[in-house]
Amino acid sequence: MAGADREPAGSGPGSEFPGGVESDLARGEAAGGIGPDREPGWQDLDPGVVGYWRVGQAIGAVMMLSLTGLGGVILSLKQRPLALWILAAWLLLAVFRTFWLIWYPPRSYAAWSYRLDGKVLETRSGIWFRVTRMLPLPRLQHVDIQRGPIERYLGLSSLTLYTAGTRAAMISIPGLGEAKAKELRDHLVAVGGDDGV
């Protein structure tokens, strides 16, 4: 299995991993992106991004649960007999969101990787709907580094690459460490973007 002989690139593999992805094997498979092999040169995001995604999920969950909770309370006040069902449904929703919050981000992290190969940047993401994007670096128009407040607190940033395309006009790499993001950006700008308009 490819996961077994995968080189740990960048940050460490599953062991120091919050949320406990079980084994390197599973992770390697999930991180295969499209295809089971894992060639050298693939880099992962900063593991802190899992925490960042979890925070985002938590905020979303809190908002959703409070809204639906409010709606449910109002509804059950109007329709007494349904109150128990509504409560059950809301609890189910809460359980689901919590489960999702725990389960999804690490998998998403494992599925994300990128690689700089000569003059092409390749990114892979997605668990069930897998996407590989390849960007010939000379086509790079410009690069953004974005940092929301939570990202800043966690020391992360995300890189957005702009091309002249339409469907793939923006390619985003989320959750890179600050220094790494700057380094990557400088490298991309140095290597890419030769094309004149």
Partner 1 sequence: MAFEYENRKTESVEREEPELNDASTTTSDSESGSAIPPLLSESGDAAPAPGSNVETDVGLTGDSAEVLGRFARDCWLHPSSLLFSVWRAVRGVLVPILILLFIDHNSNLVIFIAGIAGLSILWGAIHYFTFRYRVVNGELITREGLLERVERNIPLQRIQDIRIEQGLLHRWLGMADVKVETAGGGGVEASLSVMRCADAELLRRAVFENPERAGVAGEPAADGSRAASEPTRLLRALSIRELVLAGITSNRMASVFVAVAAVGGAVQSALSRDFLEEHFSRAGRWLLSWIDSGGMGDWAILFLLVLAFLAVSLGVSVLGSIILFHQFRLSRSGEDLFRSYGLLTKRTTSLPRKRVQLIEIEETWLRRWFKLVAIKADTAGYQPEDNSGSAEGRDVVLPVLPRSELGDVLPEILPDVRDEVPDWRRVEPCAIRREILKGTAVILVVTAVTLVVRRDFFGFMPLLLLPWIAFFCVRAYQHLGYAVGERLFHTRRGWLNRSTHIVPIRNVQAIVLRQNPFDRRHGVVSLAVDTAGQAFTGGGPRIGNVDEAKARQLARELAASAAGKRFRW
If binding is defined by CB under 8 A, does position 142 make contact with partner 1? no
Q: CB 161 → partner 1: shortest distance, Å?
A: 9
If binding is defined by CB under 8 A, does position 34 make contact with partner 1? yes
Q: Six-digit token pair at 140?
A: 């790079």
How many Cβ atoms are within 10 Å of 139's Cβ, its own excluded?
Answer: 19
If binding is defined by CB under 8 A, does position 190 make contact with partner 1? no
Residues 111, 122: contact at Cβ < 8 Å?
Answer: no
Residue 115 or 147: which CB sits closer to partner 1? 115
Residue 122 or 178: which CB sits closer to partner 1? 122
Q: CB 22 → partner 1: shortest distance, Å?
A: 21
Q: CB 121 → partner 1: shortest distance, Å?
A: 9
The gap from C-alpha 25 to its chain's centroid, in whole angstroms, comes to 20
Residues of span 145-174 touching partner 1 by CB under 8 A = 163-169, 171
138 contact partners, CB below 8 Å, separation of at least 6? 119, 192, 193, 194, 195
- Phi, psi for residue 114 in degrees, rounded to 5: -145, 160
Residues of span 93-122 touching partner 1 by CB under 8 A = 117-120, 122
If binding is defined by CB under 8 A, does position 15 make contact with partner 1? no
If binding is defined by CB under 8 A, does position 187 make contact with partner 1? no
> What CA–CA distance (Å, rounded) separates 4 from 68?
45
If binding is defined by CB under 8 A, does position 135 make contact with partner 1? yes
Half-sphere exposure of 19 (CA within 13 A, CB side): 24
If binding is defined by CB under 8 A, does position 128 make contact with partner 1? yes
If binding is defined by CB under 8 A, does position 40 make contact with partner 1? no
Sign, Cα dihedral of 179, 45, 18, 98: positive
Tell me the CA distances in angstroms from 196 to 61, 137, 178, one per residue in order: 46, 13, 30
Residues that bind partner 1 (CB under 8 A): 34-35, 117-120, 122, 126, 128-139, 163-169, 171, 194-197
